[in-house]
């Protein structure tokens, strides 16, 4: 199965992506990971990518899409993958569609988890993020095994400045402007799977499993 996971900030995309990976044995790929791996690999795109990052510039959509699709063509992703954090814009979605189709590994489904803004603002206020791997936790909905520490690398969790209420409202505004149009794009391809993100983490996981099973029929 080949998936993207979409939804507003704070809806629990990262938490659910990890659970989907564990249940289905998929390759979990985030934009940040893909870019870091590309730099470490010193491959064909590493020089251009490093130049952009060193100059503090946004990485062009074309370069990001190429790096991600190259990663998706590696053996561990050929049996299935879930993309977390990409695409975020219509241009990225169109590029991803063209590149994955050319490789014969186009998307099976686009998962969209949604919840009202007031729920998201409350959730994000209780979130802690690992500064090393980027994994997010929540002290109620998805707590780490050890209080204040990342399960993956043991780093101390941080509360990000952009998780404050006013910053969250601005992030939600930008999301609605840039990312929400992707819903129509994937709905027109008949691969959009919509999930109610107001439930607890386990209920959302069950809902995703049921909806994906129904979608695959």
Selected catalytic residue, list 13, 19, 123, 135? 13
Does the active-site annotation cover 160?
Answer: yes
The span from the CA of 154 to the CA of 64, in Å, is 29
Does the active-site annotation cover 78?
Answer: no
Does the active-site annotation cover 88?
Answer: yes
For every residue of 20-82, DSSP letters joined together read HHHHH-PEEEEHHHHHHHHHHHT-TTHHHHHHHHHTTPPPPHHHHHHHHHHHHTSGGGTT-EE
5: three-class secondary structure by DSSP: strand
Cβ(124)–Cβ(9) below 8 Å = yes
Selected catalytic residue, list 2, 19, 123, 127? 127
Selected catalytic residue, list 19, 71, 123, 171? 171
Does the active-site annotation cover 178?
Answer: no
Selected catalytic residue, list 160, 173, 178, 187? 160
77 class by beta-carbon count within 10 Å (0-12 exposed, 13-18 middle, 19+ buried)? buried
Selected catalytic residue, list 88, 149, 189, 211? 88
**Cα dihedral 34→11→5→193 (10° resolution):** 180
- HSE (side-chain half, CA atoms, 13 Å) at 112: 18
- Residue in this structure with the two tokens 């409350």, named with its chain if needed: 122
For every residue of 166-206, DSSP letters joined together read HHHHHHHHHHHHHTTTHHHHHHHTT-EEEEETTS-HHHHHH
The set of catalytic residues is 13, 88, 127, 160, 171
């Amino acid at each position: 199965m080949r998936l993207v996971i979409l939804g507003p900030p704070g809806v629990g995309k990262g938490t659910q992506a990890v659970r989907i990976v564990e249940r289905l044995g998929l390759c979990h790929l985030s934009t940040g990971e893909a870019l870091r791996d590309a730099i470490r690999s010193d491959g064909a795109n590493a020089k251009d990518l490093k130049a952009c990052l060193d100059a503090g510039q946004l990485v062009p959509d074309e370069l990001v899409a190429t790096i991600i699709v190259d990663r998706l063509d590696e053996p561990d992703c050929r049996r299935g993958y879930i993309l977390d954090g990409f695409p975020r814009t219509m241009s990225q979605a169109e590029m991803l569609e063209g590149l994955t189709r050319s490789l014969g590994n186009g998307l099976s489904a686009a998962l969209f988890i949604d919840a009202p803004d007031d729920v998201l603002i409350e959730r994000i206020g209780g979130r802690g993020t690992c500064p090393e791997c980027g994994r997010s936790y929540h002290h109620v909905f998805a707590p780490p095994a050890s209080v204040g520490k990342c399960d993956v690398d043991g780093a101390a969790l941080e509360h990000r400045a952009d998780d404050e209420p006013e910053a969250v409202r601005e992030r939600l505004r930008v999301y609605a402007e840039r990312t929400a149009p992707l819903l129509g794009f994937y709905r027109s391809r008949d691969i959009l799977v919509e999930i109610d993100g107001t439930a607890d983490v386990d209920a959302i996981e069950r809902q995703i499993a049921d909806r994906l099973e129904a979608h695959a029929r």
